Amino acid sequence: MEKLIEDIYRSQSRRVLATLIRLLGDFDRAEEALHDAFAAAARAWPRDGVPGNPFSWLVSTGRHKAIDHIRRRSRFDASLKDIEDSLYGEADATEIGDMELIGDDMLRLIFTCCHPAIPSDAQMAMALREVCGLTTEEIAHAFLVPAPTVAQRIVRAKIKIRSDRIPYEVPDLDELPERLDRVLHVIYLVFNEGYSASWGTEVVRADLTAEAIRLARLVADLLPHPDVEGLLALMLLQDSRGLARCAEDRSLTLLAEQDRSTWDRRKIEEGLDLLQRAMEPSEVGLYTVQAAIAAEHAKAATPQATDWPRIAAYYDLLITAQPSPIVELNRAVAIAMSEGPQRGLEIIDGILASGKLGTYHLAHAARADFLRQLGRPAEAITAYERALSLCQQGPELAFLRKRISELTAAPEGQ
C-alpha cells in the first residue's frame, strides 16, 4: 500500500495541487492541504481500501482539511472569516469532478507562474517547484545556482502573486501572445526534467513528459503558432525513444546502443509533420531548430547513418541565436562524432577553461568519454570521477561507476 500511495503521489500530486490552488486560491494553503490529504490517505487507505477515484478523494480531503485549519484559526483572527465562508459550500464538489476544469488547472498554474509581474528567474524556479514538484536543491542543481537563492526566488514569487492578486487563470486571447514565450519555456523545462530526470532512480519520468506534451497540445488549441508546433515536434521526437533509453534492469542506454525498432513511429511521424509546418515561416524559432536536430536522429536507421555534420550546423544556428554553454557542449559532441574525439575534447576543454559548466556533470562525463576513446584511461577515470561527484541521478551514477570500473579493470595500455 505504501508503494501504491508513493506512485499516486508521483503521478497525481501536481494535478491535485493545481486543482487545490484553484479551489483554495493560495499556493501555500494548497501545498499544506496537499500534504494533509496524502497523510490522510496513508492512514485511511490501508484500512478502507483505495477509493475508486483517488484524485477526487485527495482534492476533496485536502480542501476540507484546509477549511478545518482556517476555521480553527478564524476563531482568533476575524480576517479569516471571509476566506472560510468563500471556501465552504457544496458547489465546489461539482468543480472537483469537472474534467474540463481539471484539465486546465495545470495550464492555469503555468500561466500564473509565468505572469509578467514575476521576474523571469523566479518564474522558472516557481514553475519547476509547483509544476514538476522539484525541491529547491534539485532546482538549484539544474540552474547551477545556490539553493538559498532558489528558495528566495520562490518566496518572492508567491508574495508577488498574493500582494498583486495575480489571477489564477488562463489569460484572454489578446494577452496570450505576450505570455507565449514564457509558457513554452516552462513546458520545455517540464519535459526536460521528465526526459532526463535530474534526480531519483528513473532514467525517464514518463508522467512529466506526457504532461508536457498534453499541455503543449492545450496551448496549440488556444493559440496555433509555429513556435508551439516546433516545441511539440521536439517533444514528440524526443519522447519517441523514451522507452529505449532504459534497459530492463533500469540502467541507462546510450543513443548509439538503443534498439531503434522500439522507437515509437507514430510519435516520430507526427513530430516530423509538425516540424515541416513549423519550418514554413521565413524565420524559425529555437524549439524548431532543436526539433530539426531530434529529427536527424529519428530519421537515421542506424547510428552510423546519423548526419552529424548537419546536426553540428544546427547547433551553430542555436549558438548564434541564443548563446549557451549547454548548446556549446552539445555542439562539441556533434563535432566529435563527425571529426573525431580529439576535436571534441579541445572544444570542451575550452568551455571548462572559460569557467563555464565546471559543476555540470555531463560536461565532465563527455570529456571523460573523449579521453577514453583517445586511449588515455588515467585521465578519463579522473574526469569520470569528477562527473560522479557532481551527479545526482541514480542510473547516471551507475553508468559512470561502470565506466570507471571498466577502465580500472582494463589491462594497461588498452
What's the pLDDT at 99? 41
pLDDT tens-digit map of 366-384: 999 999 999 999 999 999 9
- Euclidean distance between CA atoms 298 and 268, whole angstroms: 7
Least confident of 2-6, 70-74, 277-281, 360-364: 70-74
* Long-range contacts of the stretch 154-159 (C-beta < 8 A, 24+): 154/122, 154/125, 154/126, 154/129, 156/119, 156/122, 157/113, 157/118, 157/119, 157/122, 157/123, 157/125, 157/126, 158/27, 158/28, 158/126
pLDDT above 70 coverage of the chain, percent: 91
Quote the mean pLDDT of the chain: 87
* Long-range contacts of the stretch 397-405 (C-beta < 8 A, 24+): 398/251, 398/252, 399/251, 399/252, 400/365, 403/368, 403/369, 403/372
| Beta carbons of 365 and 333 less than 8 angstroms apart | no
Residue 76 predicted with pLDDT over 60: no
Tell me the three state secondary structure of residue 393: strand
Tell me the three state secondary structure of residue 252: strand
Q: Which amino acid is at 295?
A: A
Q: Which of 7-16, 57-66, 339-348 has the highest mean pLDDT?
A: 339-348
Three cell numbers at 27?
Answer: 499556493
Q: Which amino acid is at 186?
A: V
pLDDT tens-digit map of 191-233: 988 898 777 778 888 888 998 998 899 888 888 899 999 999 9
Residue 249, C-beta contacts closer than 8 angstroms, at least 6 positions apart: none
Instruction: With CA atoms as reference, report the closest residue to 191 among 282, 243, 128.
Output: 128
Task: Judge residue 134's burial from the number of C-beta atoms within 10 Å of its C-beta, 0-12 exposed, 13-18 middle, 19 or more buried.
Answer: buried
Which carries the bigger pLDDT value, residue 370 or residue 109? 370
Q: Which amino acid is at 234?
A: L
Average pLDDT of the segment spanning 379-402: 94
Q: How confident is the model at residue 299 (pLDDT cuts 50, 70, 90)?
A: very high
Average pLDDT of the segment spanning 52-57: 92
| Beta carbons of 216 and 187 less than 8 angstroms apart | yes
Q: How confident is the model at residue 414 (pLDDT cuts 50, 70, 90)?
A: low
Which carries the bigger pLDDT value, residue 338 or residue 198? 338
Task: Show me where the domains of the chain are located.
Answer: 1-97, 99-223
Q: How confident is the model at residue 75 (pLDDT cuts 50, 70, 90)?
A: low
Residue 319 predicted with pLDDT over 60: yes
Least confident of 102-116, 220-234, 299-313: 102-116
Three cell numbers at 67?
Answer: 477549511
What's the pLDDT at 93? 47
The label of the residue with cell 519520468 reads: 205
Q: How confident is the model at residue 148 (pLDDT cuts 50, 70, 90)?
A: very high
Average pLDDT of the segment spanning 239-266: 91
What's the pLDDT at 231? 97
Average pLDDT of the segment spanning 159-168: 88
What's the pLDDT at 90? 46
What's the pLDDT at 336? 96
How many CA atoms, within 13 angstroms, populate the side-chain half-sphere of residue 142? 22
Residue 411 predicted with pLDDT over 90: no
Residue 82 predicted with pLDDT over 80: no
- Euclidean distance between CA atoms 146 and 136, whole angstroms: 9
- Euclidean distance between CA atoms 214 and 207, whole angstroms: 11
Q: How confident is the model at residue 412 (pLDDT cuts 50, 70, 90)?
A: low
Q: Which amino acid is at 20?
A: L
| Beta carbons of 62 and 15 less than 8 angstroms apart | no
Query: Could you please report the per-residue DSSP string of 174-239?
Result: GGHHHHHHHHHHHHHHHHHHHHT-SSBS-S--HHHHHHHHHHHHHHHHHS--HHHHHHHHHHHHHH
Q: Which helix (H) or strand (E) holds 358?
A: none
What's the pLDDT at 101? 44
Residue 308 predicted with pLDDT over 80: yes
Residue 103 predicted with pLDDT over 70: no
pTM score: 0.81
pLDDT tens-digit map of 19-53: 999 888 888 899 999 999 999 999 999 999 999 99
